[in-house]
Structure 1
Amino acid sequence: MKAKLQRFFEISGFEGKGKVLLVRKIILTLIIICGMGMVLMNAGTFNRNYVLERLETHSYEPVQIAGDREATQTFVAQKAHLWKAGVRLYTLDKTVLKGKVKAEIRDKDGKVLSAIEVPCNEIHLTKYDDFTEFEFNTDLKKGQEYVLAVRTEGSPKSDNLGVYMGKMADEQKDYLKGSTVYGKNTSGQDLRVRWVYQFLPVVSVAFMVIMLLMALIFTWLPMDWIDARWKRKKFFPQAGLNRIFGWLFMAATPFFCHIIMMRYYDMGLGAIIHQATRVPLVVLLNLLIYILVAWIFYVITNRTTVAASLTVLVASVCALGNYYVFKFRGTPIMFQDIYSLGTATEVAGNYSFELDLRIVYSLIFTIVFVTAALSLRMEKGFPWKKRLVGLLACAVALGGFYHILFNTDFLKNHDIQVKTWHPQGYYKRRGTALSFIITWTYNTIEKPEGYSVSAVEKVAAKYPSDSEKKNTIGKKSPNVLVVMNESLADLNVDGKIKTSSDYMPYIHSLKKNTIKGHCHMSIFGANTANSEFEFLTGTSMAFLPPRSVAYNSLVHTELANFTTTLKQQNYGYNKAVHPYYGRGWNREVVYPLLGFDDFISMEDIPESKLDFIRAKYMSDEGDFKLLKEYYEGYRAKNQSNPFYLFNVTMQNHGGFDAAKQGDIDRPVKITDSKLKDDQAELFLNLMKKSDDAFKDLTEYFENVDEPTVIVMFGDHQPALEDSFWNAMYNGKSVDNISKEQQVNRYVTPFIIWANYDIGSEDNVDISANMLGAYTLDKMGVQMTGYQKYLVDMHKTVKFVAGEFYMGDDNKLHRLTEESKYSKKINEYQKLQYNLLADTGHTVDSFFNLKKNGK
């Protein structure tokens, strides 16, 4: 036995220094065994969803089931486990419904296998809204018939509550076997149901186990013995199998890294290959990034197997981190998240890190690659002189790559970008590594010509900040509610549009104690966060990286703004309210840094108060009702400090396809046949609802016995169909319209209303970056030197937005154009740079109120 063991050691090369290799192989074997254990023990968590849904989405009508009536659907089980069934229910107003909806799964003998109840006032609203889901979690026998029964209990017949039925699609005839309503068979009609089954992907589990077994076999291959037996060195005098396989692993590294990254987006090898044939440049750039990383590791370690393993490990860890970040907040990791790493580590313990098939798949691929690579004998690579040449080549390659990405229009010319609202789609299409690097390019702010801290201090000396303790309006500063209204826009600024009635009658009629006009924005149709950033900070996106979102790329530490100015003079409440998902635009991280004491998102609002008007968009009426409740709740606890709240609405969010997002009553009609457009008409009726809601809000505060200011403005114009805009511009595409028309596309209304005398103005031109300071000035409260500067600047430069600005000559000027205002524009850019970019030298006294009257 001892002789055989000795012979095995000789064959395998484990004698002498080879003992280190033996220990390494044993450790790698244990890792492989742990990988197998991870696969087998977690197999039960790998269930995949199998979804079946009707394809004929518009061929169905509601059938009433109110009054304890029942509708049933016979179906053939397609898998052995039915997770849930979503049923399309219909009602005009769920808030008045009584009773509950009960859904059951029955076998062919009528035995109830699972039953779920949902209160009638919790169902979804319209024909186009989400399914009302009943989570059965019941085991079935594949191929056997069962019955889904849906009925009401405790719901009077007078309630308008129904279930949608329609003609089945051809694909459904194999598993839908008829339905009944009130006990009577329907003729070719079936319930509108989405079936969600779950199943264990046995092939995937087996594939991972086989991969691990192959890695185990490869780990114990006696490479030295094979070399000697096949006399490989006769053909490869400088290379044995260890060296050959080492370079093969090195060559495979970038491809393996890309596969691991994309597996987290549920992309299989076929999808990745298809992507490579469709957008080869994008895939090549991703591979180049991995090649550069691998080459850096090789120059450092001089070992191909170590460099390859480290690169794959880094890619795998980054992919795993990206996956969990996306899972927890809904967006992938961007370069700007590096600034929030400390916060992330602090809150990481509050989350549950569970494994699923995508994670295990990628981890197993990593284990297979790394264990196989490290099982080889580590042989030295180049001598030190050649390594220096390699290091130089690596530096040149990195410099060239950086130059192309940051100092040329290469990405722009090839339409390679990542939009930071819902960036996950771009990460999937562009690749994780490249997308992350692209977000880095959005992080650089160009230094203005002639910038220096002393130049900023010179301006600051002319505009001293007020004291925190200064009193202005009688004994009490006014309450202030800021409402940034999603897509609020008056389309008449783009071109005259004839309608059956005014869609903004109240706003158009306001005169007393009202200042209103045109707010020029830097965005069109999307990137809402940039508009609120401009309003709050008094800075312009015109001088920030294109396609960037300031909340993601710039706000990493506390930043002086509209909110901090009010807090410094003892304003209370100080909360941001947005009735949608809180993770959008990184608000959960940014709002505390902007001085808000709390952030109320849709997740924090009781379901009974979520008044959805379309899909999951809360109505302005419901939104403003909450604002009044928040004010009353605050005032009941605090009788002294003025109230401040910042609200971002959701009602008017795109898209405007009624078939997808839901429809509303439409009293306003477009009467101009050339501009008749369904989406535009829906949008105008949404404007009417916003107008009605704003009227109700102002009438409420009109009766409040405290000075109160409400400022409302739109974040951007709506993204309507190109055909509508072309008709608006008399057949011209938006690429061929005048610069005046281009500017008008970025105009939204603003209104500053008060329940006390602030004067009256109309047709004021301003931009979002000046509106915050302008509001504070009209309120008569303390202001920072920077805010005073913006108010003064507005007297000569009416707005700065996008590519344009307008001076008091009422002419449009491009930012790149020389004019008598160029010095003022450059001066403003310097102040903004000092606040946002040169944070180590920010002139704090200019951007904050004086402390304690000093």
Structure 2
Amino acid sequence: MKRDKKLKISSFVISLIIMLFMQSFIEDFSYKVYTNENIEISQSEPASDYSDNFKINSIYIGDKLLDLDKVEMKGWTKSKTDTGYPVQTNGYSKGNKLSIKPSPGLMFNKLSVNFETSPKYSTAVMTYLKDHTMTMYASSSDNRSYVDIHYTDFVSILTQTLIFIGSIVLFSFFIYNLIRRIEEASDKKKEILYIGKDYILNFIILGVSIFGLSKLKAHIPEEKYFTFFHAPYTYQDLILFVSTVFLASLGMKSIYKRKSNIKALDITNWILFILNPFMSFYILESAYNPNFGSMELIYILINALILFLIQVLIYIVIRKKRLSMIFILVLSIAFGIANDALYILRDSPLIPAFLGSLGVAADVAKDTVIELNGHSLMAFSLASLWLLIISSINEGKIKISKISYVKQLAGYSAIFALITVVSVNYFIKQNGVGVNLWRPSRTYYVEGSPYSFYRIFANQILTAPKGYDEKEVEDTLEEYYNKDIGTKENKKPNIVIIQSEALADYYGKGNLKLSENPIAFQRSLDENAIQGNSYVSVLGGGTVNSEYEALTSVPLTFFPLGAYPFQQYVKEGHTSVGRVLENQGYNTFITHPNKPTNYSRQEVWPNLGFKNIAFLGDYDNSPESFESTNSFMKDSVAFDKIKEQFENKSDDKPLFAYLVTMQNHGGYTSNVPGDIKVLNENNGDDKGTSHYVNLLKKSDEDLKNLVEFFKSYDEPTILCIFGDHQPQNYDIFMKLIKSSDNYTNKDVFYTPFTIWANYDIDEEKDVNMSLNYLTPYLLQKAGGIKLSAYEKYMLDMHKDYPILTTKQIFNNDGLEVSKDEEFQKRNNKLNSLIYYEMKQDTKSDKYFNEASK
């Protein structure tokens, strides 16, 4: 008994020495972050001779004013006041800084610095915890501002300390039990082999963890420190911390092996089983979500519940708590790291639509450098810690009859399915809960990945329209395939479509007073021209949805409200005007002078059949190519890219070119001077109206040059330009037009369109149609081109219902008919045709992607 006590004490001492030795190499472990770190404020080098002074009026820790006697100053001077505040630089000098030793009070409070700049362009930089940098710049009218920082808090320090203490105790158990097992074994060599077998899983997890950390680190550019438990850790620190928990996990495993209290261990297993979804969710969000700390409790519970339901389902199937927990954890960390990588690569987290294009993504990834931020490494480290803990649990085999097993599995599966159906149909779809698919990260940041992913998936499920009959659909399409619409037999012309960013026509509307028409040239085209308005489903943004309707002729009314088809539904083989024209011998070209990752265009456009594609990197990126007032690519440069395609045509094939411009994108800066004046009173702030209309004028002048180019081009060419949506500041224009904010959807959900040809076409004015009709209408007017069966059907639909958008539906008498019974029948038939195509059966190509008779 005495020897056993000595063995326990010896084991504890050995464990303590080893743990202290390991943590001594972690510079900022636990409380050491308060003894080894400083908070520094240094003035930035001034941009001019008139911006060199920086003043700090106060520094508070919580509600307590920081004693300046505890602050090391170089180049800063105190005031002759009781407190010494304010302190100021009185001119910039290299090396000037305030150095603050963080006090324990920062565990429970924030540090607030109230400062003042004079003149207003001087700045300073606050650095803390090595990897945190905060620029201090006062932009308010009185040049005053403040910054708050949250240092390593009490919970973080307590957690690290408890892990350290727990590791000492647990590892001492391992040492003690190891020695006891070897001493008591009759065959010591064989017992050592058994011991190795018992702990092999822990060693495998440690090896996988270190290997995974090294692989992740290779994708993190120039990161020296990583935020771990709200403290700066190096890569070596992370390895040491994981190794510490690994040693603790050996102790946990040894406790389970002793089986001294089976009931207590079983309770522990169930506690870990319940905790695992919460830990997995925390790890998932930690990998990419900078706002996780402010997430509402209800979303934390919903996300954990989703993971828990999946975990229980897996457990019922395999009857292993440990494996079901590991599955959820691995799934979560993979989801989190994927979000991190995709956010950097594509400005979007993982959404269901990406899973449908994994093949394309894999091809793209071969030539793409995947980057991650330090959060992924931190999250993976946490996952390794938790994996070491849950992998150490031991559970006996569960004996259950086949009948009981089947009953339990069927019962839970039924409950799981019921929860899914009810949540989809009653809480998500019918309640119209919106998901931000333009910037999915905004939804993910607020509501969590599992819940957001599930909501997007539920909203994108397409169900067959009421009374859907495939044979009836095929009969309708076959009828239109053979229908003669009187196509002109002239030579196939070249086709150019310009989707002009934020193009709107406000001139002469209501009480708005402009000194001249910003799009005077476009609207002056009358010979061989068609003028009208294109009705859209988006406003102030959502470019890609107008792009989808124009390229495919599929109205957004078919999809769930708030859908972004580019992100959700466009798979390989999807119908497009590009495919129809390529089927008739056209070469096709599509371009957008911005990042290819915007709305996944680098994947979507090939899925729509386009092979010749150009993005921002394919343009001249010299400063002269960008609009000086907003830094977007000039329309003149984008139009030159179109000219280049026609100048370099090397065969007799006609060319179809589609351009999505960027120049007129918001935001619009107030009071930007220009030739066009907004003559309404603005009280000193025109809220970007002048900026916008003068951008339009530049576009109009560039359009004139493009038209002049095609006037002298020796092949028949037809050009169409339309606006994707009205600008971000449409509300300001509406208030000027109406002299109030009393405007309707009909006032804002439309943009101008113009069709012009360098050969004879029928001329028309005041043509109104929604965007889903624009390309069939254009092809018919162009002449020499055969339409697909679906495009012919859309032309017939256009005759009766020329405006079909998510915001307004009008018949040819100008009446709103969204609830009209006859329209509902026609729309249901249209939806059946689209659903037939969306099934992506290759037999739909005949009617959607090929020229009909």
Match of 1:629 in 2: 643
Match of 2:621 in 1: 607
Match of 2:181 in 1: 7
Contact conserved, 1:243 with 1:379, CA < 8 A, in 2?
no
Contact conserved, 2:551 with 2:578, CA < 8 A, in 1?
yes
In structure 1, distance between residues paired with 2:215 and 2:772:
56
Contact conserved, 2:213 with 2:380, CA < 8 A, in 1?
no
Match of 2:780 in 1: 777
In structure 2, distance between residues paired with 1:12 and 1:293:
46
1:345 is matched by which residue type in structure 2?
A
In structure 1, distance between residues paired with 2:218 and 2:827:
62
For 1:452-511, what per-residue CA distance to the aligned partner results, in whole angstroms no more than 9, with x for missing partners?
1222223223322599xx997676321111101111111359754221222221122221
For 1:529-579, what per-residue CA distance to the aligned partner results, in whole angstroms no more than 9, with x for missing partners?
11111112111001111111111111112123211111111112x111100
Contact conserved, 1:336 with 1:439, CA < 8 A, in 2?
no
Q: 1:355 to 1:449 in 2, by over 3 A?
A: closer
In structure 2, distance between residues paired with 1:313 and 1:17:
33
For 1:397-446, what per-residue CA distance to the aligned partner results, in whole angstroms no more than 9, with x for missing partners?
42243224421245785x86432223223222221111211221232234
For 1:43-78, what per-residue CA distance to the aligned partner results, in whole angstroms no more than 9, with x for missing partners?
8987888xxxxxxxxxxxxxxxxxxxxxxxxxxxxx
Match of 1:325 in 2: 342
Q: 1:215 to 1:225 in 2, by over 3 A?
A: closer
In structure 2, distance between residues paired with 1:520 and 1:473:
27
2:715 is matched with which residue: 688, 693, 706?
706
Residue 750 of structure 1 and its aligned partner are, at CA, apart by 0.7
1:259 aligns with 2:279: no
Residue 360 of structure 1 and its aligned partner are, at CA, apart by 2.3
Residue 254 of structure 1 and its aligned partner are, at CA, apart by 1.1
Residue 21 of structure 1 and its aligned partner are, at CA, apart by 7.0
Q: What does 1:481-492 correspond to in 2, within 5 Å?
A: 481-491=496-506
Residue 284 of structure 1 and its aligned partner are, at CA, apart by 1.6
Match of 1:746 in 2: 749
Q: What does 1:216-231 correspond to in 2, within 5 Å?
A: 216-221=246-251
Residue 646 of structure 1 and its aligned partner are, at CA, apart by 0.6
Q: 1:248 to 1:614 in 2, by over 3 A?
A: farther
Match of 2:564 in 1: 549
2:542 is matched with which residue: 513, 517, 527?
527
In structure 1, distance between residues paired with 2:204 and 2:341:
27
1:787 aligns with 2:796: no
In structure 2, distance between residues paired with 1:13 and 1:804:
85
1:360 is matched with which residue: 364, 377, 380?
377
Residue 800 of structure 1 and its aligned partner are, at CA, apart by 0.7
Contact conserved, 1:776 with 1:783, CA < 8 A, in 2?
yes
Q: 1:629 to 1:594 in 2, by over 3 A?
A: same
Contact conserved, 1:478 with 1:707, CA < 8 A, in 2?
yes
For 1:643-692, what per-residue CA distance to the aligned partner results, in whole angstroms no more than 9, with x for missing partners?
21110001111222359xxx563523243669983223322222222222
SS in 2 for 1:525: coil
In structure 2, distance between residues paired with 1:773 and 1:325:
36
Contact conserved, 1:45 with 1:357, CA < 8 A, in 2?
no
1:595 is matched with which residue: 606, 609, 616?
609
Match of 2:662 in 1: 650
SS in 2 for 1:695: helix
Q: What does 1:558-569 correspond to in 2, within 5 Å?
A: 558-569=573-584
Deviates more, 1:326-335 or 1:698-707: 326-335
Q: What does 1:374-385 correspond to in 2, within 5 Å?
A: 374-380=391-397, 383=400
Contact conserved, 2:518 with 2:676, CA < 8 A, in 1?
no
1:408 aligns with 2:426: yes
1:717 aligns with 2:732: no
Match of 1:157 in 2: none
In structure 1, distance between residues paired with 2:362 and 2:542:
28
1:239 aligns with 2:262: yes
For 1:594-653, what per-residue CA distance to the aligned partner results, in whole angstroms no more than 9, with x for missing partners?
121221000221323862115765455423442343234423xx2411121110001111
| Structure 2 spans left out of the alignment, 5+ residues | 1-174, 224-229
Q: 1:44 to 1:686 in 2, by over 3 A?
A: closer
SS in 2 for 1:711: strand
Match of 2:83 in 1: none
In structure 2, distance between residues paired with 1:505 and 1:517:
14
Q: What does 1:27-106 correspond to in 2, within 5 Å?
A: 27-32=201-206, 35=209
Match of 2:771 in 1: 768
Match of 2:703 in 1: 694
Q: 1:225 to 1:320 in 2, by over 3 A?
A: closer
1:208 is matched by which residue type in structure 2?
L
2:245 is matched with which residue: 182, 190, 215?
215
Match of 1:305 in 2: 322
Contact conserved, 1:334 with 1:439, CA < 8 A, in 2?
yes
Contact conserved, 1:485 with 1:715, CA < 8 A, in 2?
yes
1:425 aligns with 2:442: yes
| Structure 1 spans left out of the alignment, 5+ residues | 50-199, 229-235, 268-273, 733-738
1:534 is matched by which residue type in structure 2?
E
In structure 1, distance between residues paired with 2:256 and 2:418:
43
Match of 1:818 in 2: 820
1:680 aligns with 2:689: yes
SS in 2 for 1:827: helix
1:709 is matched by which residue type in structure 2?
I
Provide the identity percentage: 23
Contact conserved, 2:573 with 2:840, CA < 8 A, in 1?
no
Residue 251 of structure 1 and its aligned partner are, at CA, apart by 1.9
In structure 1, distance between residues paired with 2:451 and 2:324:
21
Match of 1:828 in 2: 830
Contact conserved, 2:576 with 2:608, CA < 8 A, in 1?
yes
Number of residue pairs aligned between Structure 1 and Structure 2 = 670
Residue 35 of structure 1 and its aligned partner are, at CA, apart by 3.9
Deviates more, 1:243-252 or 1:218-227: 218-227
2:308 is matched with which residue: 279, 285, 291?
291
Contact conserved, 2:494 with 2:655, CA < 8 A, in 1?
yes
Contact conserved, 1:503 with 1:668, CA < 8 A, in 2?
no
Contact conserved, 1:538 with 1:768, CA < 8 A, in 2?
yes
Residue 703 of structure 1 and its aligned partner are, at CA, apart by 1.5
SS in 1 for 2:721: strand
SS in 2 for 1:750: strand
How does the TM-score come out when normalised to structure 1? Answer: 0.71
Residue 778 of structure 1 and its aligned partner are, at CA, apart by 0.2
Deviates more, 1:354-363 or 1:759-768: 354-363
Q: 1:545 to 1:650 in 2, by over 3 A?
A: same
1:703 is matched by which residue type in structure 2?
S
For 1:261-289, what per-residue CA distance to the aligned partner results, in whole angstroms no more than 9, with x for missing partners?
1122254xxxxxx8576522222221111
1:248 is matched with which residue: 271, 295, 309?
271
Residue 209 of structure 1 and its aligned partner are, at CA, apart by 4.2
1:844 is matched by which residue type in structure 2?
D
Q: 1:257 to 1:776 in 2, by over 3 A?
A: same
Deviates more, 1:785-794 or 1:716-725: 716-725
For 1:136-192, what per-residue CA distance to the aligned partner results, in whole angstroms no more than 9, with x for missing partners?
xxxxxxxxxxxxxxxxxxxxxxxxxxxxxxxxxxxxxxxxxxxxxxxxxxxxxxxxx
Contact conserved, 1:617 with 1:650, CA < 8 A, in 2?
no
In structure 2, distance between residues paired with 1:289 and 1:351:
33
Match of 1:169 in 2: none
Contact conserved, 1:524 with 1:716, CA < 8 A, in 2?
yes
SS in 2 for 1:560: coil
In structure 2, distance between residues paired with 1:454 and 1:842:
13
1:28 is matched by which residue type in structure 2?
N
Match of 1:478 in 2: 493
Q: 1:842 to 1:745 in 2, by over 3 A?
A: farther
